[in-house]
Amino acid sequence: MNYQQYYNARIQNTRLVDTGLIGKSAYEILESVVAQLSDGLGENNYYFEKFWNFVDVLENPNNHKVEIRISNLNCKRSGSFPKRWLFNPFLSQTDKEIKKWFARKIKQIAKIEAQDKHQEFTFKDNNFSQMEYLGDGSRTVAQAVEVYKNLIKEA
């Protein structure tokens, strides 16, 4: 399966939230938000399960735009124990609300990383400190701020 086929399969039964972002760093930062909710900061936390089960971040192979994809499913069974029904928290939200939610999570994750490293929290576009929680370790706070600002601006 090539990426175009993968993309086509992943967008089935989803709603597009256009982020207005292009590029690998924006994709990695937004994808890391979802990853942190499932395996990182949200690991073993049932509260976050309802979020990461109904959202996906993809890079459109045709125009390289970073897309947030919201599942059209209203609910589904959880995959973890104890089994329970999860209801899609994004269904009733507008695109602007979803972008603001992602922007807030970016800032929150950056703040938690700074606390974990016992550093002063400086969420500014002139902070070129490497981030481990958002991206692949080569992304900087400045790149996260840029994504944050674009999401807030678009919202």
> Rounded CA gap, 84 and 77, in Å?
6
**Lowest-pLDDT range, 2-6, 41-45, 98-102, 110-114?**
41-45
The token pair at 97 is 């609300």
| pLDDT beyond 70 at 155 | no
The answer, as to whether pTM is greater than 0.85, is yes
The token pair at 35 is 């990853």
Of residues 119 and 71, more confidence is placed in 71
In the structure, what pLDDT confidence band is assigned to residue 46 with cuts at 50, 70 and 90?
A: confident
* Average pLDDT along the chain: 92
Residue 94, sorted as left (phi over 0), alpha (psi -120 to 50) or beta, turns out to be beta
Nearest residue to 106 via CA among 78, 131, 75: 131
Taking residues 16-37, report their average pLDDT: 95
Taking residues 48-71, report their average pLDDT: 94
Of residues 106 and 136, more confidence is placed in 106
| pLDDT beyond 80 at 42 | no
